[in-house]
Homo-oligomer: A and B are copies of this chain.
Amino acid sequence: MTEPTAPVWIAGAWRAAQASGSFHAEDPSTGTPLPTPYPVSTRADVIAALEAGSQAAEALEHAAPAAIASFLEGFAAAIEARRDQLVDLAHRETGLPLAPRLRDVELPRTTDQLRQAAAAARSGVWRRPTIDRARGIVSAYAPLGGPVVVMGPNNFPFAFNSVAGGDAAAALAAHNPVIAKANTAHPGTTRLLAELADGALAVAGLPAATIQLLYRVPRDLGLELVAHPLVGATGFTGGRPAGLELKAAADRAGKPIYLEMSSVNPVVLLPGALRERGAAIAAEFYGSCTLGAGQFCTNPGVVIVPAGADGDAFIDAAVAHFSQNPPGVLLGRSGRDGLVSAVATLQQHGATLRCGGAPLDGPGYRFANTLLVVRGASFLAAAHALQTEAFGPVALIVQSDDVDQTVAIIRRFEGNLTGTIYLAGDGSDDAGYARVEPPLRRRVGRLLNNRMPTGVAVSPAMNHGGPFPATGHPGFTAVGMPASIGRFAALHCYDNVPATRLPWWLHDDLPQA
């Protein structure tokens, strides 16, 4: 007899899944399964969610912006009211520290995003209307006409959550319903967030299927989902293999899909910076690379240092930090296994282990803080393999002979979310910066100076995006309202349509083109 699993949330009802199986989340700090079983949905659930989502899309298209804003704000308030329970649950499912991480950083970030989405929904700033009165043509962005599938990652149970995170908030701000596919590492957190959303939807008077929740679907069904004719678009944050499979399926069907996949976030340390403050930079690097047990999309995974004494001193200082401090708990078993595999790949391609390199014993999932080193020439000989992402407290330090070699290395980099240059304050690195910046700039979404890349500010000026394969398109960002909303909007033009038949968002007296 199958044990009863948690209900899915489809068409406004919390009901038993049409399930083909079940799974449990684990407490990664102990490696033991958590008590609640969650369903693996069959096609019946997916189609039911798509059909209800499609109807909700039609209703939401003309919903009052105030209603959507009020829902998003009510949702944020509900999250705050249940903060302790949410934080406790997320901590058990992810192993991330209760505080400050979950309670004081990620949860406020999440409610902040929801409120920024509410403000954008209320103002309609994302519609970007263009009016050509002389020719009788007007255009503006509108919702996609179908639900947005959101597949959130394991490493941000709140801020990138499939129900409450940035993609969901952006999709909802543009009047699109959301079909959330929970990350299987934290189904309970996602379920509780969905329950809070449910209450806030009812208060705001929005359609019941404005948000729906599934926990898991078999691989083929996931590919069918993102390519389904009723879908508006997909937002995916996660690993590259799954991301590329979903992208191929959505692309074939002509369905937009926004992916945030993998990134090693190269950091270039110029010689003057190391001379000036090498020890301080080593400490900053350690802090950034091991924050959240290194499980950030913007984790600095490749660092280029000058070969020679200052570079060696930096490496020694970094090794001391990495080896003297215990690593945090990883998000799960697959993360640990992925690190074993990634570190092996790096070593097979010429990188030398300086510290760490193996999982820790014990009941939970931990991987030693790890540094590897490789000469610039060796990096160039195996540039692709040496950009293997190690999603954890692991970095590869590349020893570059000179600025020419640094430029050659950068020219082999894939697309990344971020690229960072540390340089001296006395001008001694300015010439090197001028050589290094242009090729790095073209390969990253966000270029930093003298600051580690972790810490993605929720700012309208943020770009949490970058060239493929960091994401699927270099023109879009996953963080930063209102820009991130633009991913989930279609351009609608009206030609010779009198004002009385224009939608209300083009009724106001708008500036002329």
A interface, CB within 8 angstroms of B: 58, 61, 130-132, 135, 137-139, 141, 144-145, 247-248, 251-256, 415, 418, 433, 437-438, 441-443, 445-451, 453, 457, 459-463, 465, 467-469, 472-477, 480, 483, 486-487, 489-498, 501, 513
Contacts and interface: CB of A to CB of B under 8 A. Distances in A.
A415 B490 CA distance: 12
Most chain B CB neighbours (cut-off 10 Å) among A441, A468, A474: A474
A254 B132 contact: no
A506 B441 CA distance: 15
24 contacts: A58-B438, A61-B438, A130-B461, A139-B461, A141-B475, A247-B254, A248-B252, A253-B468, A254-B468, A254-B472, A433-B501, A445-B493, A446-B494, A447-B492, A448-B496, A449-B495, A457-B495, A459-B513, A462-B493, A467-B490, A474-B491, A475-B489, A475-B490, A475-B491
Nearest to A463: B493
Tallying the copies of this chain within the complex gives 2
Nearest to A131: B461
Nearest to A134: B459
Given A130-B483, A490-B474, A247 B251 contact: yes
Contacts of A490: 445, 467, 474-475
A483 B462 CA distance: 21
B457 A137 contact: yes
A134 to B, nearest CB: 8
B251 A460 contact: no
Contacts of A247: 251, 254
B495 A442 contact: no
Nearest to A446: B493
A477 B491 contact: yes
A508 to B, nearest CB: 15
A506 to B, nearest CB: 10
A373 to B, nearest CB: 27
Contacts of A132: 457, 459-462
Contacts of A480: 130, 139
B513 A449 contact: no
A280 to B, nearest CB: 15
A449 B256 contact: no
A430 to B, nearest CB: 9
Given A251-B247, A445-B491, A138 B461 contact: yes
B497 A448 contact: yes
A149 B132 CA distance: 30
Contacts of A498: 449
A220 to B, nearest CB: 20
Given A135-B459, A145-B467, A447-B492, 19 more contacts: A131-B461, A132-B457, A135-B457, A137-B461, A141-B475, A248-B252, A255-B468, A256-B474, A445-B493, A446-B494, A447-B495, A448-B496, A453-B495, A461-B493, A462-B493, A463-B493, A475-B486, A475-B489, A477-B493
A3 B144 CA distance: 53
Nearest to A137: B461
A104 to B, nearest CB: 19
A432 to B, nearest CB: 12
A467 to B, nearest CB: 7
A483 B491 contact: yes
Contacts of A469: 254
Contacts of A501: 433, 437, 449
A495 B145 CA distance: 35
A251 B251 CA distance: 7
Q: Would you list the 9 A-B pairs with minimal beta carbon distance, nearest first?
A: A254-B468, A463-B493, A145-B442, A474-B490, A132-B461, A251-B251, A446-B493, A137-B461, A460-B513
